[in-house]
Amino acid sequence: MRATVLVRPKPGILDPQGEAVLGSLQQLGFAVDGARVGRVVDLELRDADSRQARAELERMCEQLLANPLIESYEIELAQET
């Protein structure tokens, strides 16, 4: 089963990368008022049960993929075929 984890800097936390990207986009003439830069982790899971997989993914995020103090995360499970 495939899963994608999106990790973002928590709202309210200054994101210097996002600020730099925003500045560059504005310089290019794009009408952009905000940019935040996060991280995407694509995973290939051995587990086929989606409930179990979600629980596993939560643990992965808490233990490694995100730092809960500064980052939020979102889990997307691929539709089962």
Q: Which residue has the tokens 């089963």?
A: 1
Question: Distance (Å, rounded) from C-alpha 71 to C-alpha 64?
Answer: 11
Question: Closest separation between CB of residue 49 and other proteins, Å?
Answer: 26
Nearer to other proteins, 53 or 65 (CB): 65
Q: Where are the alpha helices (DSSP H) in 2-80?
A: 16-27, 50-60
Sort strands 2-9 and 71-77 into parallel, antiparallel or unpaired.
antiparallel
Question: Closest separation between CB of residue 57 and other proteins, Å?
Answer: 16
Nearer to other proteins, 5 or 53 (CB): 5
Q: What are phi and psi of 45, to 5 degrees?
A: -95, 145
Residues lying near other proteins in the complex (CB under 8 A): 13-14, 16-17, 20, 64-65, 67, 69-70
Question: Closest separation between CB of residue 17 and other proteins, Å?
Answer: 6
Nearer to other proteins, 63 or 81 (CB): 63
